[in-house]
Amino acid sequence: MSKTTEAAVRGRSLTAADRLRAFKLAFPLTLPVMAGYIFLGITYGILIVTQGLPPYFPAVTAAIVYTGSMEFLLAGILVSSFSPAAAFLTAVMVGARHLFYGISMLSKYRGTGWKKFYLIFTTSDETFAINYSALIPENVDKGWFYFWVSLLDQLYWIAGAALGGLFGSFISFNTRGLDFVMTAMFVTIFMNQWLNDGTGAKGFFKDHISELAGIFASLLCLLIFGADRFIIPAMITILAVLTLLRKKLDIADNIAEEDTK
């Protein structure tokens, strides 16, 4: 269904109006990310500069590394002894969740043309969450929608890091607790998913099996492994649970149908 729409949109070449329509849909959805990224970016910029690195460094790493949690670790790595292999491994561990994002976005980013490389390169927790859960109307080009969300989010992060690097020491108003905006965003996206899945068609448990697996596997692994190293075990547990449940869920049948379309 969406394939024909796409072809229709692509059939006539996209106009500036098409791109603007995609932008108008994308921009409001990125507002919470703007608040969160600029705040966290400033924090990151300040942290980097207080480690004795140059003021342009935060913005440069924000643009090319562009993965918040790893950049905060990078600040510590850069002031310890030289070990690129350890830095590489740490980044693979921290970035491992991108594997899940990639698998989830495979079909959505399909057919986005030249923008696809950029979309993959700029996949962050927040961009993934928005692009995955967005309901894109048929008259809006999904490739441009994804592109605008990705670009805006990256610009917010770079802007925040640049501000923190250059002017961090002048900021005085009390921003304590502002980082909660990210938590709030993921909670609403989670709730949105939960409410959309709650059709009651297959019963409470089957409807919400993914959400429940995600929450409980993560909580369990958090308790066992602690806050600093629970992500990878949680990912493995989620993967195992969902693999074991595949046969039990009717989803497998639906997919077989859709594949043949």
- The 90-129 contact track toward another protein, x by CB under 8 A, reads xxx--xxxxxxxxxxxxx-xxx----x---xx-x-x---x
- Binding to another protein in span 35-94, by CB under 8 A: 35, 53, 61, 64-67, 70, 74, 77-79, 81-85, 87-92
At closest approach, how far in Å is the CB of 193 from another protein? 5
28 in contact with another protein (CB under 8 A)? yes
At closest approach, how far in Å is the CB of 44 from another protein? 14
> Which one, 17 or 39, has the nearer CB to another protein?
39
249 in contact with another protein (CB under 8 A)? yes
134 in contact with another protein (CB under 8 A)? no
230 in contact with another protein (CB under 8 A)? yes
At closest approach, how far in Å is the CB of 182 from another protein? 6
- Binding to another protein in span 144-183, by CB under 8 A: 174, 176-178, 180-183
> Where do the H-state alpha helices sit in the chain?
2-11, 16-50, 57-64, 68-77, 84-95, 97-105, 115-121, 125-133, 142-167, 180-197, 204-207, 209-225, 231-244, 251-260
In whole angstroms, what is the distance from residue 190 CA to residue 192 CA? 5
224 in contact with another protein (CB under 8 A)? no
**What long-range pairs does 7-10 form, CB within 8 A, spacing at least 24?**
9/139, 9/141
Inter-residue contact 70 to 167 (CB < 8 Å): no
In whole angstroms, what is the distance from residue 38 CA to residue 60 CA? 15
> Dmax over Cα atoms in the chain, in whole Å?
60
How many residues touch another protein under the rule CB under 8 A: the total is 100
